[in-house]
Structure 1
Amino acid sequence: MARLPTLIFGVILVLLGLLGFISNPLIGAHALFAADAAHNVVHILLGVLLLTVAFWAKESSALWLKGVGILLFLFGLAGVISVPETGGALFGAFMTNRFSDWFHLVAGAIVFFGSFHDKDDPHTSASGMKF
């Protein structure tokens, strides 16, 4: 089971979403990582979803991590492709900029590969990849 990574990434997403509602230089409309209220709400909802899975659907944790990882990666890719470097709205709804786009690309890859973490499976290597 990938319960621990699901729990960790769920907490991180909720904290990032909440941080976006507090005036700070890291996350916000005019911060290093551009995010508006809709963007923050999506982070909170995804985090709550992962926390729910971590506690009540442990056996499907890896599947949910893969899905969220792919979703984050695709949003980052869409931002890199369609939003100007100076920033703008992704799909006309979510404020983003280049820092935020690259963060989503990297975070998506980390979350996706975190789904392969399984300490209980004897066929899992030290790197977390299954044989």
Structure 2
Amino acid sequence: MLSTFAKIFGVVFVAVGLLGFVPMFTPNEHLLGLFHVNGIHNVIHLASGIVALGVGFSSNQASRLYFQIFGVVYALVAALGLIYGNQPILGVVTNNLADTLLHIAIAATALALGFGTPKEKAVTA
């Protein structure tokens, strides 16, 4: 189950990362006119998605660890987003309220998947 969710996260993040580089989808550096993005922000989305796809095709255990780490990291990014407001996080990654709210939702979902789902029972022959 977690592998499937990791694959879904991966596809979505890779797509968002790629769309962030397409001027038609990023008027005034706002993906879909809403989320403030820049090159570094897009690369982070791509990297998050590629790692998610990798663990998604690996195992549920790897996917669980991904969601645990990913959830904590995105929670920290969301907290920094709240602190920085509409200013770039650490002076590098563009940010606005829509980004921060999305990062909160991503963190909550990833943490729920990583820590809140039952571990699979070992199958014995």
TM-score higher than 0.5 here?
yes
Match of 2:46 in 1: 44
Q: 2:99 corresponds to which residue?
A: 100
Runs of 4 or more consecutive aligned structure 1 residues displaced over 3 Å after TM superposition: 24-28, 116-121
Asked if 1:70 corresponds to 2:72, the answer is yes
- TM norm structure 2: 0.82
User: Unaligned 5+ residue runs, structure 2?
Assistant: none
SS in 1 for 2:57: helix
RMSD of aligned C-alpha atoms? 2.4
1:29–1:95 Cα contact (<8 Å) kept: no
Aligned length: 119
Q: Secondary structure at the match of 2:100?
A: helix
Return the structure number with greater helix share.
2
Structure 1: unaligned runs, 5 residues or longer? 122-131
What SS does the corresponding residue of 2:91 show, helix, strand or coil?
coil
Distance 1:61 1:52 in 2: 9
Identity %: 28
- TM-score where L is the length of structure 1: 0.78
Distance 2:90 2:98 in 1: 17
